[in-house]
Every structure is written in structure tokens, then in C-alpha cells.
Chains A and B, each alone.
Chain A
Amino acid sequence: MRFRPPALPNKRHAVEHITSKMSRTGVAVAALVILAAALIAGAAIGETSIPFDIVLKTVANRLFNAGYPLEPLDEGIVWAYRLSRAVVAACCGASLALAGAVLQSLLRNPLADPYILGISAGASTGAVAVALLGFGAGVLTMPMGALAGALAAFLLVSLLAVRAGSGSNAIILAGVAGSQMFNALTSFVVTKSATAEQARGIMFWLLGNLSGVRWPDVGLALPVTLVGLLICLWHVRALDAFAFGNQAAASLGIRVRRVQIVLICTAAAMTAAMVSLVGSIGFIGLVIPHAARLIVGVRHGRLLPVTALVGAVFMIVADILSRTIISGQVLPIGVITALFGAPAFAFILGQKRARP
């Protein structure tokens, strides 16, 4: 007899199915509420704290012409500075975390992330080269330069890894070498071609900095993040199928090469856009996906949205901290993420060793 599932649908499953659909909508609504709350907090907290209702009224005024009478100064701070900054922070956190999650699954390596694999370093080099050397002047914008750098870095790192052998750590070693090289290139370009003032600005930007962010930056960050998220979500089942390796994925009908190229380019593009806006910020892409896995498990259908959400919220909080920990001074956001990220990284490394 040929293998046949039981003809009658299982009642338990049918019930589970309906409840899971309902709970999924509930979870999605909850996620949006959390994100909105984080954005409002990002706009309210700072050097001068502004009450939540003023923040909400500002948003209502600007988006819907609600016409609440408000202090122009407060409205200005909330709208022109903090809100744009919070939105870019959210996009940045979501994009980097997603890029990390996707790279970890595709390369089947828990240590993969855009920063460690040298993609961020490559993007920095590309952005700096366009800004200072005027590479492809007029045609290449800074984000495009960053994208070219990011892809070049990943290509180089992959080639190095292939030469170094097929062990799962080869790609990480290659990434470390690659990021060192691209960081050195960036320093070289900066030292050679920048004025002292430019150099200071660039070094500050490289450590990750949201200070200069305004609404036009949202115009890049938001579409890139949303399109990136959609592309990743489109591939959730393919990503699941990579659990047992490329061959197993191929035998499940996944077009392995195509999926790899599309998703790695997406991860590189998200990273490049964020680097060109706020500099290279480490650890988000590494740590957030692991945190998300602990919360919802390894299935990408849930993992990716949660990763994006946690990344966004984490980055908004990190930005608030960077503005408020030392009063009157702004810490580079990379310092905050590294302060939290480095211990988490050590923890993951330890876990990996413990598992046979």
C-alpha cells in the first residue's frame, strides 16, 4: 500500500490551526504597539524630557494636521531631531539584526553577522572612498559606494574562506581578516585624503553615530528596511530548509544558489544602507538573532519578524542610553551595543563549544 495520510482531518489539528491564526494576529498587533511605544519613548526621553502627550500631539499635528497648540521649541525637538532619529535607529536595528539572522542560517554558523564577516567594514571603506576620493563622482552616491564595498568585502571573505578550507570556522576567520583589511584601507584613505576636521568627523561616524540623522535619512532607511524585511519573509521556508545543509535544501526543491545570492545581497544592501547612514555598529546582527531564537525558536516564519522587532527596540533603547548616560555628552552608539554585545558574544561562544 502506498503511503497515505489518514483521510479524515484531525480535529485537534483543526482547532489548533484556528487558534494559532487568531494568536498570530494578536501577536502582530502587540508587536506594533511595542514598536510604537519604543519610538515614543525615543522621542520623549533626552536632555530635556518631553511628556508623552506632547509627543503624541506633535505626531498628530505633523501627520494629520490636528492643530494642537504646542510650544514650537518642544515640537521642533520632538519632530526634527528625536523622532527622525528614533525611526532611523529602529530601521538600523531591524536591518542589522535581520542581516545577521539570515547570514547565520544560510552559512549555518552561529557566529556569522555583517560586522564579523567584514561586510560592515567593506561598506565603510566604500562610503569613505566615495565621500573623500570622489570615486564615481556624481554617479555613485555614498550608499551605493557602501553597497559596492559591502559586496566586495563579502566576495573577498568568501574566496578567502574557500581557500582556507571548508571547516565552519573558516568563514569567521576569513571575516576577521577581511574586516581588519578593510578597516586598514579606510584608515589609509582617511589619513591620506581627509583634512583633520573631516578625519575627526569620519572617525566619530565610523564608531556608529546617530547625531546627524534627520528626516531625509528616513527616506533611505525605512524603504530599505521594509523591502529587506519583505524579501527575507518571502524566503522563510527556504531558510528553514537550510537547517540540514545545502544538499538537503536542494533535495527539498530549494534553488540553493539563487536563494543564497538573493539573501546575501539583501543582507549586504541592508548593512550598506545602515552603515552609510550611521556608521558601522557591531554586535546587533550577532546577538539579537540569538536572543530572538531563545524567545520563539528556530522557525524563520516567527524568528525573522521577532528578530526585526527586537533589533529595532534594542537600538532605540541603546540610542536613548547613548544620549543620557553621560549628561551633556553623546556616546557613540557602538559603545553601548558593544558593552552589551561583547558579554553576550562570549556566552554564545561558550555555548557553541559545550555542544558536540
Chain B
Amino acid sequence: MKISAQKLCWSAGNLEIVRDVSFDVAPGEFLGIIGPNGSGKSTLLSMMAGIRKPLSGQVMLGDLPIRSIGSREIARSLAFVEQQAETAERITARQAVELGRTPYLGPLSGWSVNDDDIVDAALDNVDMADKADRLWHHLSGGERQRLHIGRALAQEPRVLLLDEPTNHLDIGHQIDLLELVRRQELTVVAALHDLNHAAMFCDRIAIMDQGRMTAIGKPAEVLTAETISTVFGVEATVAPDEDGICHVRFRAGGARRNSARKDAIS
């Protein structure tokens, strides 16, 4: 299922947070969004998920504007994993994943064996089956993050929106998780911070900078030393590695203060 943004804008008061962002994501494509803190990635994703109403512009899910689709219907084809979602409830790991079945259950239709199987598969998929009965607040940050992904998979979505999915994960689980997401062959839009991971896993990369999408394209086209320097204010060298994937190496002492960077732009 394809998803696209058409001239999306959002602002808080006078502050423009997302400015006129448009792009298409093809079915089965993995799009990475990179950009500095506060550049509007999370805001953009929550508009794509239909949770935040754009000030202007619209999101198309498949061939329909997302605001014309019922929220349950959306949740059956699109799953969104927030950057931070915590709970004080004493729920277990399994119960957290079971929440993913919510869009399929009505007030009168009960939990079925099929739902159990889907939850089992999701737990397996994120490597948490053995910890299914642990309490949420006894789990590590990375384990919680994997459960959020598991919950999203239990929604059986066709589009997956991930906001910094590899937060808190150790390097092994970061790679595992991105590989896992790739394997599902879903349409994926993910905000990522690690440029090398973005290069490894994404079909295309988009850059957000101060609310604008300043570039979108194949990793090798987008990840250049100049772009990285203007957007992040960090000196880097980019070279293709032996697999032909572009590899970013940062240079120590290359970081410029944000103010210096703003001066450089203006």
C-alpha cells in the first residue's frame, strides 16, 4: 500500500514546525527520514499516521485521503510506533502486544484463538517470546521498544511508521530490528538518527531541516559530505564500502556549534 504526503504544513502558534512537505512512498518501499533534533520528523510522522491534523495539505493512504477513512480502518492498515510511549500500569509484555489487536475487536466480539496466534507470532518476531510474562516496568528500554514494534506487527498493517525505532537498542538489536522490519516487506517510513543504518536499510532517504524536506533520494545521492555538513554541522567523509553501500565516517573536532551553523546558512 502506498502512502503520500501532499503539501503538509503544521505550526504551533506562530512557529512553523512542518512547512510544505510533499513526497510519495511506493508500496513495499523503506523510506528513512533523517534530520536534526526538532526538525519536525515526529510531527510529520504523526500527521502521516492520521493522529495530528495537518494545518493544510493532506495525507493519502492508498488512493484515499486519510481523513476520509475511519480511525479503526486506518489502524488496520497502518501502524505507528511513537518515539516515547510509557505506561505506569502493571501490564505484562504480552498484554502490551495484545493491544495491537484493538482495531480488530469490537465491544461485543471476543478475543479469538486467531488473535492469540498473531500475538505469539509478533512476540516471536521481535524476540520477546521468552519474556512475554514479564511486567512492563521490569523490562529494559530496548525490550520495551521491541514490544512496541511487536504491538505494531500485531496490527497486521500494510504501512508501518516508526519514530526512531532503534532508540535504546544495543547494536545487535538495532540491526536485527531494522532487518526484521525490512523482511516484512511493508511500506515503511522511519525516522532514524544513525546515517549508516539509514544507508544500509533504506531504499530512499529524506532529509528534514527546520521543518522543510530539503532532499529526498537514493542514499548515495542524499548522503554527501556537503549535505551532512550543512544539515548537521558535522564534518564527515562519505565513501562506498565493499558492498557498495555508502558509508559515513565523522571526523573528530569537525562539529560546529549550532549558532555557527546558522551563520553558515545565512
Residues of chain A whose beta carbon lies under 8 Å from any beta carbon of chain B: 1-6, 9-10, 13-14, 16-17, 108, 110, 233-238, 240-241, 243-245, 247-248, 250-255, 293, 297-299, 355-356
Contacts and interface: CB of A to CB of B under 8 A. Distances in A.
Interface string B176-194: 0000000111100000000
Contacts of B88: 108, 110, 355
A17 B80 contact: no
A257 to B, nearest CB: 11
Nearest to A16: B116
Contacts of A233: 107
A154 B101 CA distance: 32
B245 interface: no
B63 interface: no
A227 B118 CA distance: 34
Contact of A10 (B71, B79, B116): B116
Contact of B113 (A10, A241, A247, A255): A10
B129 to A, nearest CB: 13
Nearest to A252: B102
A10 B117 contact: yes
Contacts of B67: none
A238 B71 CA distance: 13
B105 interface: yes
B185 A2 contact: yes
Contacts of B168: none
A2 B82 CA distance: 22
5 contacts: A13-B116, A17-B116, A108-B87, A245-B86, A251-B75
A251 B47 CA distance: 11
B113 A243 contact: no
B72 interface: yes
Interface string B75-95: 110011010011111110001
Contacts of A236: 107
B137 to A, nearest CB: 7
Given A250-B51, A253-B76, A355-B88, A6 B71 contact: no
- Among the interface residues A2, A244, A255, A356, which one has the most CB atoms of the partner chain B within 10 A? A244
Given A237-B102, A299-B95, A355-B137, A10 B82 contact: no
- Among the interface residues B70, B80, B99, which one has the most CB atoms of the partner chain A within 10 A? B99
B90 to A, nearest CB: 6
Interface of B: 46, 49, 51, 70-76, 79-80, 82, 85-91, 95-96, 99-100, 102-103, 105, 107, 112-114, 116-118, 120-122, 125, 137, 153, 155-156, 183-186
A14 B82 CA distance: 33
A6 B121 contact: yes
Given A13-B116, A17-B113, A253-B71, 6 more contacts: A1-B185, A237-B107, A243-B96, A247-B85, A252-B155, A298-B95
A247 B82 contact: yes
Contacts of A240: 99, 102
- Among the interface residues A4, A245, A251, which one has the most CB atoms of the partner chain B within 10 A? A251
- Among the interface residues A5, A236, A241, which one has the most CB atoms of the partner chain B within 10 A? A5
Contact of A253 (B72, B90, B91): B72
B120 A5 contact: yes
A299 B118 CA distance: 19
A3 B105 CA distance: 20
B188 to A, nearest CB: 12
Contacts of A243: 87, 89, 91, 96, 99
Contacts of A252: 75, 99-100, 102-103, 155
Contacts of B185: 1-2
Contacts of A238: 102
A68 B247 CA distance: 92
B1 to A, nearest CB: 12
A241 B121 contact: no
A237 B101 CA distance: 10
A238 B237 CA distance: 50
Contacts of A297: 90
A110 B51 CA distance: 26
A252 B73 CA distance: 10
Given A247-B82, A250-B51, A5 B103 contact: no
Contacts of A299: 95
Contact of B71 (A13, A254, A355): A254
A251 B125 contact: no
B121 A248 contact: no
Contacts of B117: 5-6, 9-10, 13
Contacts of B79: 251
Contact of A298 (B71, B89, B156): B89
Contacts of B82: 244, 247-248, 251
B67 to A, nearest CB: 13
Contacts of A10: 113, 116-117, 120
